[in-house]
Amino acid sequence: ISLPEGSTTDEVVDEILKLNEDPNVQGLALDLPEGVFSSKVLNAVKPEKDVDGLSDVNLGCLIHGDVFGCLVSPTACAVMEVLENLGETMCDNCNISEIFFTW
């Protein structure tokens, strides 16, 4: 779906809401211009269709470590894997949360 340049936030949200209800749409990845990128738009996407993992629900699950209860973006997965590998090579028996809080 491509919306015209200059589409308002409300127009984008309306289109997202339609796509949320379409059973043929399994996921939504948003490529938004800076003027429309907002939590209102990101949170309009149903969490189960949020392939970018940017809705408050999916980010909250990720932050709280519930990666099985949400969609995690490929970038976040890659970063988590790198950090896990760093943890294994840079300290003995440490985990990601220890790296975040001690570095």
Give the pLDDT score at 43. 93
Query: pLDDT tens digits for 1-22?
Result: 788 888 899 999 999 999 999 9
Answer yes or no: is 4 within a domain. no
Name the pLDDT band for 40 (thresholds 50, 70, 90): very high
Report the C-alpha gap between 44 and 1 in whole angstroms.
16
Query: pLDDT tens digits for 41-82?
Result: 999 999 989 888 888 887 777 777 776 767 777 777 787 788
Answer yes or no: is 66 within a domain. yes
Give the pLDDT score at 24. 93
Give the pLDDT score at 99. 40
Residue 89: domain span: 9-102
How many separate domains does the chain show? Answer: 1
Answer yes or no: is 62 within a domain. yes
Answer yes or no: is 28 within a domain. yes
* Residue with the two structure tokens 């339609």: 18
Answer yes or no: is 97 within a domain. yes
